[in-house]
Structure 1
Amino acid sequence: MKNIYFKLIFLFLGLLLSTSCSDYLDKESDTELTLNGVFESKTKTENWLAGCYSRIPDPTWGYTRSLGWEILGDDMTPSERWRQYDWQVIPFVLGDWSVGSQWSPGYWNNLPQRIRECNLLIKNIKPLPEQNLTEDDVRLMIAECRFLKAYYYTLLINTYGPVPFSPDEITPVDYNLSDLQVGQTPYDEIVSWINNELKEVEEILPASYADGRKYGRATSIMCKAVRARMLLFAASPLVNGNQDYAGHVSKEGTPLFNASYDANKWKIAADASKDLIVSAEAAGHKLYVELNTDGGIDPFLSCQNLHLIEASKGNKEVLFARPSVESGEYDRHTAPGGAGGAGGYGVTQSLVDAFFTANGLPITDSQSGYVETGFSGEDGYWTNGATKWNEVKSPGLVTLSGTYNMYCNREPRFYLAVNFDGAWYTDGDNAGKDKGRKLEFFNGRKDNNNTHDAPQNGYLARKRTDPTRNPVLGYFAPRHGILYRLGEAYLNYAEALNESNPGNADILIYINKIRERAGVRTYTTGASDALHIHVDNDQESIRKIIRMERRVELCTEGIRYDDLRRWKLAETVLNGPFYGMNFNGKNAAEFYNRTAYQTRVYKKEFYWFPIYLAEIEKNPNLVQAPFWDK
């Protein structure tokens, strides 16, 4: 629980533009009396810094239940009737989204509070030698706050586009209301400040900490990771030469987006991603890999456990993590009802279709071997090295005889991401004993009780879930939440390089690093063979395989929605019917039919979150996000 110092400092922020000056001054007087006391104590100073970190999103439950990024995209789909439990973005995907819609993360109000909190620490912190708070400690804590300010601004501009921007300002006691009524700063100006700020701060912060208690604290690698992702977004079509925003200007007539395309932004993004990769690998980061007994990569354990194993236990792929997350709630809602879970958090049919077949080809390729209908006549095994992933049933087993063919002969990441009818499901308990059974998603069967706590389109999410969970016993193993990882950096680099320097050999090198770990054939510009797939070495062909790889490798991690936005594809991909198997089907003939379970709506204005109408009414210098006021 936050202590009284936080409450006193920030009580005024929720009332800032809705209370009188005298009310604000009365509260600020109390605030000033306590502020000096905070920074006379090492413990209270550290608690203050902890509060500065508190708005880092939860990338397990937060990205899905609260922020809603993966629901807004086309990877994950919750039970539609969960909206009654305050799943606020479910109406958004159905087109029920307005300038008055509630969204509990509330970045517009909440992130500036944390930015101000960072500024107060920067202004007031001082060494306390008698309490063992040294000059070096102070220097690093200031750098951490500078990182957090820059990071929070990336979240703001990623959500709203241009925002009011005063990165070093602390509202004075004797403020005038007009001083707070400022308009937005152009998007590119904020990007430039964040970029420069993070480049400065990364020279101060260490690449890692020897003290394990500091895991999750800001590092130079985190600075580079945030920069690289932001610059990739800034180079992309949504904000780089988008003519749709040519007339979007401030109240003073200043363009808030640059409508002129700048090809150099892709080079800047590529350079930032390469710098991140080189620095991260020099600091010991690498793709997480587990090996089979024959010394080869086990793609199942590698791709599963990179999301479950923490850095202290050997996972060097993680670049930026939140140590404390609500992973138990994610595990509960993705667990089937027959195992005691809420059982209604699934993945979309389009994600099911996105995974490659076992030979590394998309299901649309005539050479992929994909068969959609009918049922397998025998158990299916992964033959490229025995895996311990499913050894409770049989080593290497991925599908049982009688499995719908759509789910057979697929790549490892498919089986790690999707729980489908007939899949072998392992229930763990807190004693570490395993049992298993087939999932039963037909209506009225064990895992479909015909309510909202059942797989609405015939699928549940498996990726990032803990195989030892046991909802009946209330056991959910705690773990960290990954915000940035090296695998994403490889794909970011490949994309930016293909846009800025097509034909560069690094592009396929870094895509292939991801595919090799995943156990699928790598790409080559030469002839296809048992280990390689031919791809034409032109920009459009490479762009296509990069986007396919991102869809599969990064699915359900909070990234897909931003990809669709920045590529300007959301209006196409997120509009219309979404499909799955037939929830009401009581037998195979009824269940195994592509059925539209939901019709989604995505309008041009939805690329950015709107500014609440109440904020617009309080501040005449704000302009609404593009197209929301039409």
Structure 2
Amino acid sequence: MKNIYIRAIFLFLGLLLSSSCSDYLDKESDTELTLDGVFESKTKTENWLASCYSRIPDPTWGYARSLGWEILGDDMTPSERWRQYDWQVIPFILGDWSVGSQWTPGYWNNLPQRIRECNLLIQNIKPLPEQNLNEEEVRLMIAECRFLKAYYYSLLINTYGPIPFSPDQITPVNYNLSDLQVGQTPYDDIVTWINKELKEVELILPASYSDGRKFGRATSIMCKAVRARMLLFAASPLVNGNSDYANHVTKEGTPLFNNTYDANKWKIAADASKDLILSAEAAGHKLYTEMNTAGKIDPFLSCQNLHLIEASKGNTEVLFARVNVDSKEYDRHTAPGGAGGAGGYGVTQSLVDAFFTANGLPITDPNSGYVETGFSSQDGYWPNGVTKFNEVKSPGLVTLAGTYNMYCNREPRFYLAVNFNGAWYTDGDNAGKDRGRKLEFFNGAKDNNNTHDAPQNGYLARKRTDPTRNPTIGYFAPRHGILYRLGEAYLNYAEALNESDPGNPEILFYLNKIRTRAGVRTYTTGATDVDNIHVNDDQESIRKIIRMERRVELCTEGIRYDDLRRWKLAETVLNGPFYGMNFNGKNADEFYKRTAYQTRVYRKSFYWFPIYLAEIEKNPNLIQAPFWDK
């Protein structure tokens, strides 16, 4: 075999980033080997596979700081002055985004490197019986690499749209420049390949592994999850008949996006999501729930702990996870300054407003009971059954007397997602039954030191944070990062089904599964009563409630930005002033005012990441992403 040096690849292998199984994490390797040397060793072959996994995104800190998917949407907001600490997407949301802007994840360059490594393993791996690497294990490792290739391509087209595409090619070391100067392949053609590849691979991979050390490695369920989400995006208005891209063509004049709407794409997406749901449930996956002392679903512990409990401890909602994510930094930046946290990573006022009231209605509904101004006269408790939520203070306590009415009488997911002024916070500095205190976000108070490490718009994020964290002593409980979960699959299916088969009863059936777990009234096309809310059964009415449910159920999970993009709403929703409470307010009269803390800019070009200008200059066959060259 030809003598190919792989020094650059093996620089990764000492780190062996955490998306592969735990066995791989402590292995070392040589820094200069030939391919012969790699694939004659089981250990080095496994290390190579670990490197192939290494670009799976971190859905906690990665979505927040490096990838920036949470910040680019309208759910979460960091301190604007954190840009000095290399938060590269903060300038993007302010409109300071160009073809030369730095973006550390660098999918354009980095993901093709991992795809090339997958191809090298596929072409060179072989059984090593004397080292206990048998033919079946080789077959599975090849299938894992095929999954990773398809997954990485799905990330590439989700970020850039059409890309240069040669899935099985391995660029030789002694390449000619012309070998690399290829143009983009149309978006739909790549979607078709990814879909076909994943359907083939899911027939090879198991639905799960009995060996817990393989947790995080590719499964047939992960194949179906990636397919379902990608096909939902591909059916959506941004890329399904979008006339804005009619002139976005290759050098030869081939359209890079389809310009004719295809209604069948919604059916394809619906079928993929239903296939995922049925296969996942057959494999033992279900919505994560915890029961209260009355034998009913505890919405607080269920919705909180689905993000904290690992699959090995009973969380079967997880479909695709990354192991050993940087949850510590996420927990630290969302913790209030008075408890030793960075204290500046919050949620937007629009997310606060998106949550339903306790009776399951949006705050804009005159029957919701929502009151925005004034203060509560007594403590508020969740009325529907017993819960251990806030048990260190008083089980079921959601608001204290004197809480601003905007935050009272809201659904459980609100209290699990938003830390607001006056909310009860379990402070790790204190001990005993009475540990905890009220959050103090007034300017100059305990949790607002009037710097960039303070809640810039009066809120901090609570969802997916560890309630046992204690930044003052550096304690943060590790956990996995969830990339795909069954709850999203239910909502994906409901949306795709409403677009392809409006009126189908399964739409509300799966939507209501989410609401039942969340402890809010379900929807019905019949009469409103104590358990149900009437909704008209026309497509537009159902579309509206599905989108509202996605906003609150999937908030801060890195999905909202893609939703706004694929619905073609980003240039409206993400353009203009963003509101919160008054960061500078030193008392209630000053603080509790909707105040624009930031003005965002979202241009039509921002729907896709640009191709770096340097890449365009090197390759005359590339076409810049739509509207970036205007």
**TM-score normalized by the length of structure 1:** 0.95
State the alpha-carbon separation in 2 of the partners of residues 464 and 173 from structure 1.
Answer: 44
8 Å CA contact 2:347–2:459 kept in 1: the answer is yes
1:114-148 per-residue CA deviation (whole Å, 9 max, x = no partner) reads 00000000011000000000000000000000000
Cα drift, residue 176 of structure 1 = 1.5
Amino acid of the structure 1 residue aligned with 2:211 = D
Q: Which residue of 1 aligns with 2:116?
A: 116
Inter-partner Cα distance in structure 1 for 2:574 and 2:173? 47
Aligned to 1:425: 425
Q: Which string of whole-angstrom CA distances, capped at 9 and with x for unpartnered residues, describes residues 558-590 of structure 1?
A: 100000000000000000000000000000000
* Aligned partners of 1:430 and 1:475 also within 8 Å: no
In structure 1, the residue corresponding to 2:579 is in which secondary structure?
Answer: strand
Equivalent in the alignment of 1:150:
150
Task: Name the CA shift for 1:433/1:187 in 2 (closer, same or farther; >3 Å).
Answer: farther
Q: Tell me the equivalent position of 1:16.
A: none
Provide the rounded CA distance (Å) in 1 between the counterparts of 2:377 and 2:328.
37
CA contact (8 A) 1:426 1:437 kept: yes
Q: Does residue 581 in structure 1 map to residue 581 in structure 2?
A: yes
Aligned equivalent of 1:239: 239
Partners of 2:10 and 2:32 within 8 A in 1 = no
Unaligned runs of 5+ in 1: 13-29
CA distance in 1, matches of 2:167, 2:215: 26
Contact 1:245/1:259 (8 A) holds in 2: yes
What SS class does the counterpart of residue 183 from structure 2 fall into? coil
Q: Distance in 1 between matches of 2:588 and 2:421?
A: 10
Q: 1:33 and 1:499 mapped to 2: Cα distance?
A: 53
**Are 1:499 and 2:465 counterparts?**
no
Structure-to-structure mapping, 1:533-548, within 5 angstroms: 533-548=533-548
Determine if contact 1:146/1:197 at 8 Å carries over to the other structure. Answer: yes
Cα offset, 1:428, TM superposition: 3.5
Question: Within 1, Cα distance between the matches of 2:118 and 2:91?
Answer: 34
Asked if the contact 1:430–1:470 (Cα under 8 Å) also holds between the matched residues in 2, the reply is no
- RMSD of aligned Cα (Å): 1.6
Please state how far the C-alpha of 1:174 moved relative to its aligned partner. 3.5
Q: Deviation at 1:252?
A: 1.3
Preserved contact between residue 6 and residue 48 of structure 1 (Cα < 8 Å): no
Q: Deviations over 1:423-468 (max 9, x none)?
A: 0001247999872100000000000000000000000000000000
Q: Distance in 1 between matches of 2:394 and 2:430?
A: 22
Partner Cα separation in structure 1 for residue 506 and residue 521 of structure 2: 17
Give the match for residue 61 of structure 2: 61
Structure 1 position 368 matched with structure 2 position 368 = yes
- Output the amino acid matched with 1:499: E
Find the residue that maps to 2:383 and give its secondary structure.
coil
Runs (5+) with no aligned partner, structure 2: 13-29
Gap change, CA 1:432 and 1:236, over 3 Å in 2: farther
Q: CA deviation at 1:11?
A: 8.7
Is the 1:429–1:469 contact (alpha carbons within 8 Å) kept by the matching residues of 2?
A: no
- Tell whether 2:98 aligns with 1:98: yes
Q: Is the 8 A contact 2:7 2:31 kept in 1?
A: no
Would the alpha carbon gap of residues 434 and 232 (structure 1) be closer, same or farther in structure 2, given more than 3 Å must change? farther
Q: 1:78 to 1:31 in 2, by over 3 A?
A: closer
The equivalent of 2:23 in structure 1 is none
Which secondary structure does the structure 1 equivalent of 2:568 belong to?
coil
In the aligned structure 2, how far is the partner of 1:173 from the partner of 1:358?
62
Separation in 1, partners of 2:181, 2:292? 61
The superposition leaves residues 469-516 of structure 1 with CA deviations (integer Å, 9 ceiling, x where unpaired) of: 000000000000000000000000000000000000000000000000
Cα separation, 2, equivalents of 1:5 and 1:436: 57
Counterpart for residue 411 of structure 1: 411
User: Secondary structure of 1:278's partner?
Assistant: helix
Distance 1:5 1:378 in 2: 71
Distance (Å, rounded) in 2 between the aligned partners of 1:194 and 1:68: 25
> Is residue 2:627 matched to residue 1:608?
no
Partner of 1:628: 628
Which residue is 1:273 aligned to?
273
The residue that corresponds to 1:599 in the other structure is 599
CA distance in 2, matches of 1:456, 1:63: 20
- Partner residue in 2 for 1:358: 358
Query: Structure 1 residue 293 and structure 2 residue 293: aligned?
Result: yes
Give 2:19's aligned residue: none
TM, length-normalised to structure 2:
0.95
Query: For residues 392-411 of structure 1, what are the structure 2 equivalents within 5 Å?
Result: 392-411=392-411
Structure-2 separation of matches of 1:370 and 1:175: 66
- Counterpart AA for 1:624: Q
Q: CA separation of 1:343/1:7 partners in 2, compared to 1, >3 Å: closer, same or farther?
A: farther
2-structure distance, mates of 1:459, 1:435: 22
How far apart are the structure 2 equivalents of 1:212 and 1:63?
26
* Equivalent position of 1:39 in the other structure: 39
CA distance in 2, matches of 1:410, 1:499: 30
Where does residue 391 of structure 1 map in the other structure? 391
3-state SS in 1 of match to 2:473 = coil
AA in 1 matched with 2:96:
D
Instruction: Quote the Cα distance in structure 2 between the aligned partners of 1:354 and 1:587.
Output: 26
**How far apart, in 2, do the equivalents of 1:91 and 1:226 lie?**
30
The residue number in structure 2 matching 1:465 is: 465
CA distance in structure 2 between the aligned counterparts of 1:432 and 1:106, rounded to whole angstroms: 47
- How has the CA–CA distance of structure 1 residues 386 and 33 changed in structure 2, closer, same or farther, with 3 Å as cutoff? closer
8 Å Cα contact 1:10-1:113 kept in structure 2: no
CA distance in 2, matches of 1:438, 1:299: 23
Which residue does the alignment assign to 1:213? 213
- Kept in 2: contact 1:429–1:468 (CA 8 A): no
Give the alignment of 1:134-533 within 5 angstroms: 134-428=134-428, 435-533=435-533
Report the counterpart of residue 15 of structure 1 in structure 2: none
With over 3 angstroms needed to count, the CA separation of the structure-2 counterparts of 1:52 and 1:429, relative to structure 1, is farther
User: C-alpha separation between the residues in 1 aligned to 2:627 and 2:32?
Assistant: 42
* CA distance in structure 1 between the aligned counterparts of 2:232 and 2:443, rounded to whole angstroms: 44
Corresponding residue of 2:559: 559
In 2, Cα distance between equivalents of 1:36 and 1:508: 56
Deviation at 1:386, TM superposition (A): 1.2
**SS of residue paired to 1:625:** coil
Closer, same or farther: CA 7–353 of 1 in aligned 2, 3 Å = farther
Aligned pair in 2 of structure 1 residues 534, 609: CA closer, same or farther (>3 Å)? same
Letter of the structure 2 residue corresponding to residue 120 of structure 1: L
Task: Judge which range, 143-152 or 421-430, deviates more.
Answer: 421-430
